[in-house]
Amino acid sequence: MTPEEYCQNKAARSGSSFYYSFLFLPPERRRAITALYAFCREVDDVVDEASEESVARARLAWWREEIGRLFDGQPQHPVGKALAPAIEAFNLPQEHFLEIIDGMEMDLDYATYETFTDLSLYCHRVASIVGIMSAEIFGYQDRQTLKYAHHLGMAFQLTNILRDVREDCRRGRIYIPLEELRQYGVSIEDLQQGKASDKTRALFRHQARRARDYYDKAYACLPSKDRFTQRSGLIMAAIYRRILDKIASRDFDVLEGRISLTPIHKLWLAWRTNRQEKQRCKLART
């Protein structure tokens, strides 16, 4: 199996919505973003799958060393080898990879976050940095697009946090700021026990509003000249906003089970968004 095949399999097996946004990219960019996504999955799995904290920290340390080897031209892991051509072609700095690892390690350091400001650092590291790197791979003309990518990464992570409240609680992690739990009269025990109530719905409605605000900020920052090259991010936004819509349609009962879209629904949204952006691009040129 080649490094590229390894990354492709990693992306396809994950079932992530990101996979669908890659389908309409030119081959070189698709290979690069798939390798970046595979890297994120590898380091995320280190934290989620390790049975002991010391083992997880050791594996993350290994990945820091692997990034060093990657930038020295001597990667060992298939993902590192797949990333090698991408870092040269698409301005992917070493410190961004290390910051993503730092973000993953925060899951070993913190089970809760007191304020949204505290949580924002985590979201920036594990999502906005990825968004910025993705924007580099997709291509842009206006540096304002990087601000769009930062906001979009925040929106995606906040959507994930709302969607995965139940699953994260079972892992002993609470990503909703504690001061907001207190504000809405919800305890950690309520979340852990899956007690849906008017209070939890109000809390989750607030989280959804914040996520939507970040989508709006992202769209406002995206220059029209870069919309088509950044269409993979817009495809992801279409999928993730539909997840928010579905959560709202179920009255924010995210404690009852994970709310998601079917693969065919994701594929349809990806196709439709890509088609819309193509039409928009054609109209802009006429």
Segment 86-126, tens digit of pLDDT: 998 998 999 999 999 999 999 999 999 999 999 999 999 99
* Residue 260 three-state SS: coil
Separation between Cα atoms, residue 28 and residue 47, nearest integer Å: 30
* pLDDT value at 36 more than 80: yes
User: Which pLDDT does position 15 carry in this prediction?
Assistant: 63
* pLDDT value at 283 more than 70: yes
User: Which pLDDT does position 38 carry in this prediction?
Assistant: 94
Q: How many residues does the chain have?
A: 286
* pLDDT value at 152 more than 70: yes
| Token pair of 139 as six digits | 């291509």
Query: Quick one: which H or E segment has residue 86?
Result: helix 78-89
Q: For residue 165, how far is the Cα from the chain centroid?
A: 15
Give the per-residue SS3 of 218-239.
HHHHCCHHHCCCCHHHHHHHHH
* pLDDT value at 154 more than 90: yes
Separation between Cα atoms, residue 12 and residue 273, nearest integer Å: 20
Segment 45-84, tens digit of pLDDT: 998 887 789 999 999 999 999 999 999 999 999 999 999 9
Assess contact for 150 and 132: CB atoms under 8 A.
yes
| Token pair of 200 as six digits | 């939890």
Supply the pTM of this predicted model: 0.94
Domains in the chain (CATH in brackets) are: 1-93 (no CATH), 110-281 (1.10.600.10)
- Residue 238 φ then ψ, to 5°: -60, -40
User: What is the arithmetic mean of pLDDT over 259-269?
Assistant: 91
Give the confidence band of 14 by pLDDT, cuts at 50, 70, 90. Answer: low
Separation between Cα atoms, residue 255 and residue 189, nearest integer Å: 12
User: Which pLDDT does position 16 carry in this prediction?
Assistant: 72
* pLDDT value at 285 more than 80: no
Assess contact for 201 and 253: CB atoms under 8 A.
yes
Q: Which residue has the tokens 């990503």?
A: 175
